[in-house]
Amino acid sequence: MTDVYWARLASPVGPLLLTADPDGALTSLSVPGQKGGRSVEDGWRHDAGPFRAAGEQLAAYFAGELTAFRLPLAAHGTAFRQQVWEALDDVPYGSTVTYGEIAARIGVSRAAVRAVGGAIGANPLLIVRPCHRVIGANGSMTGYAGGVERKVRLLTLEGALAG
């Protein structure tokens, strides 16, 4: 892939790898060890410039001062995945939903919950697009590509879990 910009940012959940397109829209936010996470590729351009706003907003989020990101996003995925990812944007800070609730929000049947889970697991924009707010129907901390420990830390930061 050409014309990919990247930068690393320090965070309380480990170093973050951010990528953006030439217009500055975020295309991914990955953490070390992430299932399906990105790695820097040959030809990518290391440039912190496109990530100033993301860095400022992430710092404010981790400081407990920001509850909603306002960044241009350009994640690539199927129409179904895009629909699921957009539904994540509507899950409020400090709250959780189940995979079944996301399925209902996008108008698919209970039988599609597994597909919804797959789309959530493929979310390339961890933290910014809050897949960490989706939990199992029984309240379990299941299925976070960045690791369950990070999911718990993020939900605790947001006040969705007792610290």
Which are the contacts of 3, defined by CB distance < 8 A and separation ≥ 6? 21, 22, 45
Is residue 59 helix, strand or coil? helix
Q: Pick from 145, 101, 149, 148: which is nearest to 126 by CA?
A: 145
Q: Quickly count: other Cβ atoms within 10 Å of residue 153's Cβ.
A: 19
Pairing of β 16-20 and β 26-30: antiparallel
Q: Measured in whole angstroms, how far is the alpha carbon of residue 45 from the centre of its chain?
A: 22
Q: Pick from 15, 60, 53, 6: which is nearest to 34 by CA?
A: 15
42 is catalytic: no
- Which residue in the list 131, 134, 155, 157 is annotated as catalytic? 131
The residues annotated as belonging to the active site are: 131
